[in-house]
A and B are shown apart, each in its own frame.
Chain A
């Protein structure tokens, strides 16, 4: 299992060809308490950089982008009733989608925890 981070403040926990995707603590703190999360339905195929979910705070809507090419496998159903879970535990119970990684080579372009920590500063 390997943990990756993106410049868009997402994390991916990759296990085989499946990745669990969410937003980082830094992103969650920036967005504030979330009131609604809408992820693309399972089976949706996306390219890196396309939206896989929208998270809404009181103030604004923000896109969550696919870090690599792949397919949405599952949405975190618990977020429908409790979107604030993303704010309280963004890197655990507040995961947003499970994702099939189409091309594992693309993962090498992402950051590890140390690089992300340096990126956030």
Chain B
């Protein structure tokens, strides 16, 4: 794809000025990395604080036609397996859009605001998500893609310190809290969340204020711009799924080990059991188990084992048991890390399986996720 056909986020000039190596990503020109490189950027986020432009992601506001956010919450439960009705004002939760086969159409965050639900969806899925929401929730909600808003992620142990300079109230927020606060005069919807395993915030800000707010944050001590390359290695070490690699329409939330995101109220015997696409399959899997599971893998040695590498029960490649869905060198772990699907019988932590890498077998130990302990503010 020629770069001239790519969309630009409101921070495009900032990326260019800052030496961002721009690459096509989901139709946008996005910074893969800056001058310091992926390894240094990754470590900077774990040790200090990094600023990511994630404005390519879709921000969708569901406004209840009745004016009652409970109605929008109940309506959204037709499409996702999470308990949205119980989500309190000022709180956020992770869930998935599912299809009739129990597969995952997209994964998303849902925040409950004063006047509606704010959804953050993957860039590559946002058009399809929007169509789904508009066709299924038309009776209950006005569905708005907020194209005039940017999204910044400020991540790392020093994130609170940097953001509190502008909005002291962020100090009172805990993991998955959402508040509307002013940052340098710009009205922002701020959640205490992210996709790195570190403490931090996602900041939704109007496109016209985004560049100014980003530059103000970058003036704070130790705040550096971080590209998509480090975002990927950070989320992998944090054991988080990348849509399109680790989860997609062929994987269910239970196979993907995301059952923690399906609350009791939506499971068999719950107050609002089922009622989402593929519920019979997904709820059945919760009770009866699945034949394959997403697991963490620590390949032996230093060579990264990457996406699509086949996995076997034995070093001779006789019994195929699955494949790697994400793999890279983990800069904080100091070695290769991967995630993939294996037959449930081979999925116990500590068990060794074998990845095929350039024709040779690499013993890989099934490991608990995350690879790096999460540092969320609970």
* A interface residues, Cβ below 8 angstroms from B: 32-33, 35-36, 38, 54, 56-61, 83
Q: Which residues of chain B come closer than 8 Å to A61, judged between CB atoms?
A: 304, 306
Q: How far is the CA of A56 from the CA of B304 in the complex (A)?
A: 7
Report whether B303 and A59 are in contact in the complex, using a CB–CB cutoff of 8 Å.
no
Interface readout for B340-369 with A: 1 if CB under 8 Å, 0 if not?
000000000000000000100000000000
Q: In the complex, which residues of chain A have a beta carbon less than 8 angstroms from the beta carbon of B229?
A: 32, 58-59
Other-chain residue from B42, B302, B331, B358 in contact with A54 (beta carbon distance below 8 A):
B358
Q: How far is the CA of A56 from the CA of B303 in the complex (A)?
A: 8
In the complex, besides A36-B302, A57-B329, A61-B304, 20 extra interface pairs with C-beta distance below 8 angstroms are: A32-B229, A33-B39, A35-B302, A35-B304, A36-B329, A38-B303, A38-B358, A54-B358, A56-B303, A57-B38, A58-B38, A58-B39, A58-B229, A58-B329, A59-B32, A59-B38, A59-B328, A60-B306, A61-B306, A83-B302
- Looking at B37, B306, B331, the one whose CB has the most chain A CB atoms below 10 A away is B37
Chain A residues with CB under 8 Å of B232's CB are 59
Q: In the assembled complex, how far is the CB of residue B372 from the closest CB belonging to chain A, in whole angstroms?
A: 14
Known A-B contacts A54-B358, A61-B306; the reply to A32 vs B37 at CB < 8 A is yes
What are 25 A-B interface contacts by the 8 Å CB criterion? Answer: A32-B39, A33-B37, A33-B38, A33-B39, A35-B39, A35-B302, A35-B329, A36-B329, A36-B336, A38-B358, A54-B358, A56-B303, A57-B38, A57-B329, A58-B38, A58-B229, A58-B329, A59-B32, A59-B229, A59-B232, A59-B233, A59-B328, A60-B306, A61-B304, A61-B306
B residues 10-56 touching A (CB-CB < 8 Å): 32-33, 37-40, 42
In the A-B complex, list the 8 residue pairs whose CB atoms are closest, starting with the nearest. A35-B329, A33-B39, A58-B38, A32-B37, A36-B302, A36-B303, A58-B329, A59-B229
In the complex, residue of chain A having the shortest beta-carbon distance to the beta carbon of B229: A59
Q: Which residues of B contact A (CB under 8 A)?
A: 32-33, 37-40, 42, 229, 232-233, 302-304, 306, 328-329, 331, 336, 358
A57 to B37, CA, bound (A): 10
- A32 and B36 CA atoms in complex are apart in Å by 9
Closest to B302 in A: A36
A38 partner residues in chain B, CB cutoff 8 A: 303, 358
List the A residue with the shortest CB-CB distance to B301.
A36
Residues of B within 8 A of A33 (CB): 37-40
Expressed in whole angstroms, the minimum distance between the Cβ of A96 and any Cβ of chain B is 15
Closest to A84 in B: B39
Kindly list chain B residues whose C-beta atoms are within 8 Å of the C-beta of A58. 38-39, 42, 229, 233, 304, 328-329, 331
- Which residues on the A side are within 8 Å of B38 (C-beta)? 32-33, 57-59
Once the chains are docked, how many angstroms separate the CA of A38 from the CA of B357?
11
CA of A15 to CA of B217 in the docked complex: distance in angstroms? Answer: 55
Return A120 CB to nearest CB of chain B, in Å.
16
Contacts of A35 in B (CB 8 A): 39, 302, 304, 329
Cβ contacts under 8 Å, A60 to chain B: 306
Of A38, A59, A61, which is in contact with the most chain B CB atoms at under 10 Å from its CB?
A59
Give Cα A79 to B232, complex, Å.
25
- Complex-state Cα separation, A35 to B40, whole angstroms: 13
